[in-house]
Structure formats: structure tokens, C-alpha cells
Amino acid sequence: MQFSSIFFLSLSLSLVGAFEWPEKNQQCEDDAGPPFLDDEPGKKYHDGQQVSPVLLSDGKCAKPIKDACKNSKHGDAKTAYLEGPIACENQGWYCRIVNQDGWPAKGLTGDKNFGHCNSTDGYEDGYDQDGHCHGSATDNTYYWWIRDHFHRQYNGRLRCCCGWEASDAGDSGNNLITAGRVGNRCDYRREVTGIGDDTTDNCRDANEEHGLNFEGGCDQVYKDDQIGKPVDLPEYDDTCWEIDFFGLSEGNDEEDDEENDSADDSEDDEEDDEENDSEDDEEDDEENDSEDDEEDDSEDDEEDDEDDDGEICYDLPNKNKCKKNDACAFGKNKIKQCIPKKDKGCSDYTKENKCIKGGDCKWMDETCASKCDGIEDKNECKDEKKTGKNKKICKYKNVTNPCKKCQPKSCGEE
């Protein structure tokens, strides 16, 4: 008996030393990033990225990641923290991504989905601007959720803990997200079992279409005890782990445009959109027109050229000259537009049943398009929901105007 115990102990340790992970493919159609089956041996999707695991004060890995850190095939703590497996005893997990100073939030800004239970805002119905929360009752979904949201560029500081389902253990339990102790809501990632029809070939989005999101709100019982306290207070550090600078960074080439759009989005989206946008740019233009009329009139020998094709518009040097040409119009650099929070690739679908299946797309004139397309009213845009679900899917934000500067009046016409 003693010999057999020693044998099995040494066998289990050797398995911890080197093992293949993930155990099966759970990547779905709408998951972001390259196809898992196209991964090259020895290369990781996060190679060369700034993402950094937060180790304990003694330099060791957090308890739920300890076995993964021993896996010699991972090679480093960063891979263990991002890929797992996590040791949550199949109690599931949940993660929160919040803004991190010095790290562009990119995709996170447009898809925040929960409020913390340590502020009065978190107890208000519908408040969801503290970050992005996601979890699962199954440990083996962790790799797939991390991979998906990393490539969605939900960039920020990541904190995860073991435990999804709320228990009756009170403060001695670790299942605090669905008990309404940490956040007021949290999305869910289901397991793709690979059994029967539940395969990756038939899975469009494991983050949706399951009805398992936590929507219970913050528990009012703990409100007075938690307001103003550290948000991690009710969690148990032994069951948690953290990652800094989470999310994909594609370098500086797109940083300016994307980050500035994200920052502008959060500032402009709430209440100052219409007043500061349309009024300032358009009304001031007309006042400047009359001031420059005297100067420009004498030099405008070519301004009324009969170039109905609008080609001359591209060469006009300023706004006033542009507006004096009947064939031209001067457009602002940015315009407000209703766009999807997540790009669901609606235009890629060529059949109606696949187009409308996920509830984010609509079928019109034999074409699949986002349900956000064509909505001009700000409030209507923000209220648009996934078909059959109480989940808002659109945002009203600044986008680059395709007809900016001096353009032919026909610009933008279908």
C-alpha cells in the first residue's frame, strides 16, 4: 500500500511538471483573435505583449495558478496566468477588468458591464461603468475567455477569483460575485462540451445565448458595511490572482486614433453631445463666412467654375472657399454615429437564419447588417437591445467623418 501511494504521488507530480493545455478546443465563431487550430507549435498568442502576472510578495505564483506555474511546457508565469489551468476545484471563476493608469483601455471603454458594490453608484439600477465582469461555473472555460477578451482589447488590470455560484456559506465562502457582494452583474461563459451537437462547429458565441449571466445586483444587506471600503474587501486573496496590462497592444501606429476615440467616447457619450457638436461648428462657420466675403470675392475668379463633378472641391484651400462653391460642402472631422459595442461581423453572413441567430444583426434587402445601423437618434441608439435579451448592444460615439474637409456635395450618397 505504501509503495503504491508513493508511486501514484510521483506520477501525479510528473504530470504537473509537463502537460498539454487546453484539454480541448472550445473556440467559437465569434471569439476574437486567430483560430486556435492555426497556432504554431512553440508560439503563444501573447508573445511579445506587455501583459504581466502579479506574483505574491515572495515571488511565487498565486495559489490557484501554482500548478500551472509548475508546468514546464508553459515556460513562464505569464503563460500560466493567461492560460491556466486554474485550480478552483471546478467551482468556477469570475474576473473583473478595470482601467489601469498608463494602459490604453481600447475595447474596454465601449463594453463596461458592471458596477462595484462598494459605491452608491453600484446599487443604482442599470449602473455599469466600473469595468467588465465575466465568469463561469466551469474551470476549463478560463483559457478561452482570456484568449477572446485579450484579442478584443479589453485592456486594463485583471483580477480573477475562484467561485461562481453563490453558496450558503456566507463570509466563509468564496462565491461572492453571484451573491451580490462584489459587483451588481457579471456576464457568463459557458462550456462547449464537445458532446453531440455541442461542438465548436455549431457554437457562435459561448459568451451569449445561454441565459446564465448574473443580473442580481448588489445585496442591500451589505450596503452600509461596504460603501467606501476597498472593492476587494469581501474576496479571499488565497482564491484570487491578478494580471497587469492585460489585453492586446498592436503598437503605436493605431494608438492615437483608437485611444483618443475611446477617451472621447466616454466623455462625449453622456450629456454634452448635441450641444457642443452641431452648434459650435456650424453656426460659427456662417459668421466667419461674412467676415471673409469682402477679401475673397475679388480673388474668386475661379470659384464658380462649372465643375459639376466636384473634382475642384479637393483642391480648395479653406472652409470659406469651399462653402462658396455650389458643388462643394465642408464636413467636420468627426460625426456622431450609432455603432455596435462589439463587432459581430454581420456583413459576413449571407443567409438570413445565420444573420439573425445571435440577435445582434438584422436582415434587410437580402443583406445582413448590424441592428445599430441607420439609427440616428442618440437615445434610441443607446436603448437598442439584442433580440430577445435585455442587453444593450449599441453606442453613440464620435467616428471619423468620411466626408470631412472639402468634398463634393454628393459625398456620402449611396
Rounded Cα distance between 398 and 203, Å, is 33
Shared domain check, 209 and 71: yes
Q: How would residue 263 be classed by pLDDT, with cut points 50, 70 and 90?
A: very low
Per-residue pLDDT reduced to its tens digit, 30-64: 999 999 999 998 899 999 999 999 999 999 999 99
- Is residue 128 a contact partner of residue 185, using CB atoms and an 8 Å limit? yes
194 lies in the same domain as 103: yes
Q: Measured between alpha carbons, how far is 181 from 171 in angstroms, rounded to an integer?
A: 10
Confidence of residue 97 (pLDDT cuts 50, 70, 90): very high
What are 120's three cell numbers? 452608491
For residue 125, the model assigns a pLDDT of 85
Report pLDDT for 343: 85
121 and 40 assigned to the same domain: yes
- Residue type at 197 in one-letter notation: D
Average pLDDT, the chain: 80
Point out the domain boundary residue: 241, 256, 271.
256
Same domain, yes or no: 248 and 312: no
Q: Is 257's pLDDT higher than 90?
A: no
Residue 291 is predicted with a pLDDT of 44
Mean pLDDT of 100-110: 94
Torsion over CA: 357, 361, 363, 366 (sign):
negative
What is the pTM for the complete model shown?
0.60
Instruction: Assess whether pLDDT exceeds 90 at residue 136.
Output: yes
The pLDDT score that the predictor gives to residue 310 is: 56
Percent share of the chain, pLDDT over 70:
78
CA dist 350 and 249 (Å) reads: 32
**Residue 235 structural domain:** 13-256
**Residue 321: per-residue pLDDT:** 80
Assess if residue 18 is contained within a domain.
yes
Per mean pLDDT, which range of 66-75, 248-257, 303-312, 361-370 is the poorest?
303-312
Relative to beta strand 334-340, strand 328-331 is unpaired
Average pLDDT over residues 378-400: 86
Q: Are residues 93 and 242 located together in one domain of the fold?
A: yes
Distance between CA atoms of 185 and 382, rounded to whole angstroms? 19
Residue 70 has pLDDT above 60, yes or no: yes
8 A C-beta contact, residue 273 and residue 336: yes
pLDDT value of position 54? 97
7 part of a folded domain: no
- Quick one: pLDDT at residue 299? 42
Assess if residue 271 is contained within a domain.
Answer: no
Q: Which of 194, 227, 256 is the last residue of a domain?
A: 256
Contact yes or no for 165/122 (Cβ under 8 A): no
Domain limit, last residue, from 256, 272, 292: 256
Tell me the mean pLDDT in the region 107-114. Answer: 93
Which pLDDT score is estimated for 307? Answer: 42
- Provide the domain count of the chain: 2
Answer yes or no: are the C-beta atoms of 94 and 186 closer than 8 Å: yes
**Contacts of 298 by beta carbon, 8 Å cutoff, 6+ apart:** none
> Do 364 and 239 lie in a common domain?
no
Confidence of residue 317 (pLDDT cuts 50, 70, 90): low
Q: What is the pLDDT of residue 2?
A: 38
**Residues near 206 by Cβ (< 8 Å), separated by ≥ 6?**
26, 28, 31, 141, 144, 189, 190, 191, 192
Q: Among 109, 122, 115, 93, which residue's Cα sits nearest to residue 156?
A: 109
